[in-house]
A and B are shown apart, each in its own frame.
Chain A
């Protein structure tokens, strides 16, 4: 709660943590810190490119998708569904549902992004992916005041993702099985690395146990990525219920 500071009741002033700056310095910082993570994401980009080509997308279409959608899980599912004729409604609906978790992720950025201009905030948020979102939230919570961190880290993800898609969809066929190079473990390791920063003691243990439990149940019983939403909401609800 401390991050949100004292309440003055005025709308723009209800989070009184230090001002954010939005600068090239923050952009570079975000980009550089995210490069190791983006390398892991690139492995999946190559896989996506290969799968997209196998599904009948041209390299241009695959690259366009990576550059404009920038959502790994939704893209992989879309090329999975891709056939001739293309089932447009199914693909669009699935994309939306799989990406609903971003609503929660965007909401979690609000304490900091409310201090940016609308252009900065709504421009940066395009570059949200699971990995750099987690990295950015961790940095901001640790007191980093670079408002451009999400944009910078997102550009790292974006550039590696797009280049990897081009490689996979043109030269691909190299990485058919990501587990050979341990690539399937990279993103797990990324999230493990980041989650440590969110640990706040025994109170966290309770909400995380329930989050993990409900996420696993959701993963087993529900399609798509509902389990991520469910786990996140569970942790949130437990915190709300125990608030005093």
Chain B
């Protein structure tokens, strides 16, 4: 059942180590330095910036169905604060609109 050979497994474990280094690295580096208030304010802006950077190209690649569904997700999450509900309505919207685009 389990077939494993040395080279693929070594590469996979190498990937695991490198990935862990990146995940732990930022935390570790910041423990070695004392940050100024100015630098801390920059650190605070990172998460929003990273998420926007993930989103922007994805949305740009989409079309009207994705854009409309994105708007629906934003409205639903602001109104209900529920991840499940906003994901559900967003997926539903994108599927319905894509179907509609195909039919039209």
* 8 A Cβ contacts from A73-122 to B: 74-75, 78, 85-86, 88, 91-92, 95-96, 99-111, 113-114, 121-122
A192:B55 contact, CB within 8 angstroms = yes
7 chain-A/chain-B pairs, Cβ below 8 angstroms: A1-B40, A92-B14, A99-B23, A192-B70, A212-B52, A215-B57, A216-B57
A196 B54 Cβ-Cβ under 8 A: no
Considering the chains assembled together, what is the distance between the CA atoms of A103 and B19 in angstroms?
10
A6-22 at interface with B (beta carbon < 8 Å): 7, 11, 14
- Cβ contact within 8 Å between A110 and B19: no
Rounded to whole Å, the gap between the CB of A26 and the closest CB of chain B is 18
Interface size for A (C-beta < 8 A) is 98
Which of A102, A125, A134 touches B51 (beta carbons < 8 Å)?
A134
Q: Which residues of A contact B (CB under 8 A)?
A: 1, 3-4, 7, 11, 14, 33, 36-37, 40, 57-58, 60-61, 64-65, 68-71, 74-75, 78, 85-86, 88, 91-92, 95-96, 99-111, 113-114, 121-122, 125-126, 128, 130, 134-135, 137-138, 179, 181-182, 185-196, 198-199, 204, 207-208, 211-216, 218-219, 227-240, 243
